[in-house]
Amino acid sequence: MLAVVLLSVVCSLAAGSLPIIHGTVGAPWPKPHEMQHILPGYLTVDPDHFSFDVTNNNCDILTEAVKRYKDIMFNAPRAPKSKSRVSWHTASGFLGELTSMDVDLMEPCEELPHLDMYEGYNITVIDGSGTISSISIWGILRGLETFSQLLVPSGDAYLVNATTVRDWPRFSFRGLMLDTGRHYLPLSKIKDTLDLMAMNKLNVFHWHMVDDQSFPYKSDKFPKLSELGAWTQNQVYTADQIASVVEYARMRGIRVLPEFDTPGHTLSWGLGQSDFLTPCYLGNKPTGTYGPVDPTVEANYDFLRELLTEVTGRFKDHYIHLGGDEVPFTCWESNPNITTWMATHNITGDYAKLEEYYITRLLDIVDNLPKKNGYFVWQEVFDNGVKIANDTVVHVWKYRQDTRWKEETGNVTAAGYRTVVSTPWYLNDISYGVDWYKYYNADPQSFNGTLAQKDLVMGGEACMWGEYVDATNLTPRLWPRASVVAEKLWSSQDLTNGPMATAQATPRLEEHRCRLLLRGYDAEPLWPSYCDVNYD
Ligand X SMILES: *[C@@H]1O[C@H](CO)[C@@H](O)[C@H](O)[C@H]1NC(C)=O
CB of 118: closest distance to ligand X in angstroms? 9
Nearest distance, CB of residue 235 and ligand X, angstroms: 31
- Catalytic status, residue 326: yes
Identify which of residues 135 and 239 has a Cβ nearer to ligand X in the complex: 135
Minimum CB–partner distance for residue 26 and ligand X (Å)? 3
Contacts of ligand X in 40-79 (CB under 6 A): 40, 42
Q: Which of 375, 447, 490, 521 binds ligand X (CB under 6 A)?
A: 447
Residues 135-164 touching ligand X, rule: CB under 6 A, are 135, 152, 161
442: left (phi over 0), alpha (psi -120 to 50) or beta: beta
Round to whole Å and give the CA distance between 327 and 94.
Answer: 64
Which C-beta is closer to ligand X: that of 40 or that of 313?
40
Closest CA to 217 of 256, 184, 168: 184
Would you count residue 134 as binding ligand X (CB under 6 A)?
Answer: yes
Question: Binding to ligand X by residue 337, rule CB under 6 A?
Answer: yes
Distance CA 386, CA 252 (A): 36
Cis amide linkage into residue 286, ω under 30° from 0: no
Q: How far is the CB of 447 from ligand X (least distance, A)?
A: 5
| Binding-residue pattern over the window 164 to 203 for ligand X, x denoting contact by CB under 6 A | --x-------------------------------------
Catalytic residue among 306, 326, 333, 356: 326
Which of 15, 22, 36, 37 forms a contact with ligand X (CB under 6 A)? 37
Nearest to 292 by CA among 260, 326, 337: 326
Q: Kindly tell me which of 176 and 338 has the beta carbon lying closer to ligand X.
A: 338
Nearest of 158, 139, 156, 138 to residue 148 by alpha carbon:
158
Contact assessment for residue 489 and residue 170, using Cβ atoms and an 8 Å cutoff: yes
Q: How far is the CB of 407 from ligand X (least distance, A)?
A: 4
Look up residue 237 and give its DSSP letter.
B
Of residues 110, 212, 407, 532, which one binds ligand X by CB under 6 A?
Answer: 407
DSSP string, 11-39: HHH-GGGPPPPPP-SS--SSPPSEEEEEE
Name the strand (E) or helix (H) holding 131. strand 129-134
Q: How many residues bind ligand X (CB under 6 A)?
A: 30
Contacting ligand X within 271-300 (CB under 6 A): 279
For 81, counting Cβ atoms within 10 Å of its Cβ (0-12 exposed, 13-18 middle, 19+ buried), the class is exposed
Minimal distance, residue 437 CB to ligand X, in Å: 18
Residue 422, interface with ligand X (CB under 6 A)? no
**Beta-strand relationship, 157-167 and 34-45:** antiparallel
Provide, rounded to whole angstroms, the least separation between the CB of residue 294 and ligand X.
Answer: 7
| Binding-site member from 411, 413, 483, 496 for ligand X (CB under 6 A) | 411
**Distance (Å, whole) CA 155 – CA 220:** 55
**25 contributes a contact to ligand X by CB under 6 A:** yes
Q: Which of 319, 211, 200 is nearest to 267 (CA)?
A: 211
Q: Is 22 in the site for ligand X (CB under 6 A)?
A: no
b/e code 90-126 from CB counts within 10 Å (16+ = b): eeeeebeebbbbbbbbeeeeeeebebebbbbbbbbbb
Segment interacting with ligand X (CB under 6 A) among 196-204, 302-310, 441-449, 481-489: 441-449
CA-to-CA dists, residue 226 to 211, 218, 262, 379, angstroms: 12, 5, 16, 28
User: In the set 234, 346, 401, 431, which binds ligand X (CB under 6 A)?
Assistant: 346
443 HSE (CA, 13 A, CB side): 16
Active site residues: 326
Name the site residues for ligand X (rule: CB under 6 A): 25-27, 37, 40, 42, 88, 106, 122, 133-135, 152, 161, 166, 279, 335, 337, 345-346, 390-391, 404, 406-408, 411, 446-448
